[in-house]
Chain A
Amino acid sequence: MHDDDFVDGESNNNKLFSRGAAIYYFGSLVFIAGIALLILGSALIMFFKLSYTSELQEILYTVISIAIGIVLILLGINLMMKQTKKRYFIIILSVISVTVSMFLFIRNYEYNWYYPLVSYVFGLYVAGFLLLLGNTFAGAIMWIIGSKPGFSLGPVEDEEPAHLYTDEEIQRDIEEATRKSAEAAVAELHFDMDEAPEDILAVHVSQTPKNVTRVRDKITEVKSLGQTLSPGATEKWGSVGIEKASMALANTLEPKKKLRKGFFQRIKEKYFNKQPKKESKEKIKNKNY
Chain B
Amino acid sequence: MAKGLDIGTMNIICAEKDKNDIVFTQQRNAFMELDSNDLTKTMLDISKVLYIERKDGISLLGEDAFKFATIFEKEARRPMTHGIISPREKEAIPIMKLIVGEVLGQPKKQNEVLYISTPANPIDTDLNVLYHKKTMEMLTKGLKYDTHVIDEGLAVIYSELSDNNFTGIGISVGAGMTNVTLAYLATPLMSFSIARGGDWIDEQASKSTGMPKEHVTATKEKISKLSKEVKMGSVEGALTIYYDALITYVIKNLNRKLAEITPPNVAFPVAIAGGSAQPEGFFDLFEKRLREANLRVDLAKIKHVKDPLLSVARGCLIAARTQEEKGRQQYNQTQTPTQTQTKSTQKKKK
Contacts and interface: CB of A to CB of B under 8 A. Distances in A.
Contact of A211 (B17, B63, B318): B63
B159 A221 contact: yes
B22 A215 contact: yes
Interface string A244-270: 000011011101100100000000000
A215 B307 contact: yes
Given A199-B54, A204-B51, A222 B318 contact: yes
B184 A208 contact: no
Contact of B158 (A209, A221, A255): A221
B214 to A, nearest CB: 19
Nearest to A259: B301
A211 B130 CA distance: 30
Nearest to A249: B185
Interface range for A: 35 or more
A201 B142 contact: no
Interface stretch (B77-85, B160-168, B232-240, B339-347): B160-168
A1 interface: no
A201 B53 contact: yes
A25 to B, nearest CB: 41
A167 interface: no
Nearest to B101: A205
Contacts of A251: 164-165
B56 A199 contact: yes
Given A218-B20, A248-B165, A200 B130 contact: no
A108 B76 CA distance: 107
Interface string A184-223: 0010011101101101111111011111111111111111
B102 interface: yes
Nearest to B51: A204
B51 A212 contact: no
A228 B326 CA distance: 12
Contacts of B267: 255-256
Nearest to A231: B185
Given A193-B142, A199-B54, A225-B318, A217 B186 contact: no
A72 to B, nearest CB: 54
B74 to A, nearest CB: 19
Nearest to A182: B130
Interface residues of B, number: 67
A226 interface: yes
A275 B145 CA distance: 54
B296 to A, nearest CB: 15
A219 B26 contact: no
Contact of B24 (A183, A186, A215): A215
B135 interface: yes
B67 to A, nearest CB: 11
Identify the interface centre among A202, A208, A210, A221: most chain B CB within 10 Å of its CB.
A221
Contacts of A221: 158-159, 162, 318
Interface of A: 179, 182-183, 186, 189-191, 193-194, 196-197, 199-205, 207-226, 228-230, 233-234, 248-249, 251-253, 255-256, 259
Lowest 10 A-B CB distances belong to which pairs?
A: A256-B267, A193-B142, A221-B162, A208-B50, A207-B48, A191-B138, A222-B321, A213-B24, A211-B26, A201-B53
18 contacts: A179-B121, A179-B130, A186-B133, A191-B139, A191-B142, A210-B27, A211-B26, A214-B18, A214-B22, A215-B24, A215-B310, A218-B20, A224-B165, A225-B162, A225-B322, A228-B166, A256-B300, A259-B301
Interface of B: 17-18, 20-27, 44-45, 48-56, 62-64, 91, 94, 97-98, 102-103, 121, 128, 130-131, 133-135, 138-139, 142, 158-159, 162, 164-167, 184-186, 264, 266-267, 298, 300-301, 307, 310, 314, 317-319, 321-322, 325-326, 329
Given A179-B121, A197-B91, A248-B165, 14 more contacts: A186-B133, A199-B54, A200-B53, A204-B51, A212-B25, A215-B307, A218-B20, A219-B314, A221-B162, A222-B325, A224-B165, A225-B162, A252-B164, A252-B266
